[in-house]
């Protein structure tokens, strides 16, 4: 199934911290991992581990800027 690269980037920009763009591109497992890290990070934000998880999600989100087009075209 051919996926829209433009839609993948829109999802990445607005919902990337939830992993929705990865789920759209067929990478459901990694999308769920991002979603879980975001939810757990928000819950544990008062504790340092929450900051760390959200930092990891943020870095992953930035890396996906370069990976999303390739994921959508597969």
User: Which residue pairs, CB below 8 angstroms and at least 24 apart, start in 12-20?
Assistant: 12/61, 12/64, 12/65, 12/68, 16/61, 16/64, 17/57, 17/58, 17/61
pTM: 0.92
Please provide the average confidence, as pLDDT, over all residues in the chain.
96
Using one digit for the tens of pLDDT, what is the confidence trace for 54-71?
Answer: 999 999 999 999 999 999
Q: CA-CA distance, 44 to 28, in Å (whole number)?
A: 24
């Amino acid at each position: 199934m051919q996926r829209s690269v433009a839609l993948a980037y829109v999802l990445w920009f607005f919902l990337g911290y939830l992993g929705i763009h990865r789920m759209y591109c067929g990478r459901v497992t990694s999308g769920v991992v991002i979603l879980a890290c975001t939810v757990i990070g928000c819950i544990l934000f008062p504790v340092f581990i929450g900051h760390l998880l959200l930092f990891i999600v943020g870095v992953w989100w930035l890396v996906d800027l370069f990976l999303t087009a390739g994921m959508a075209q597969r």
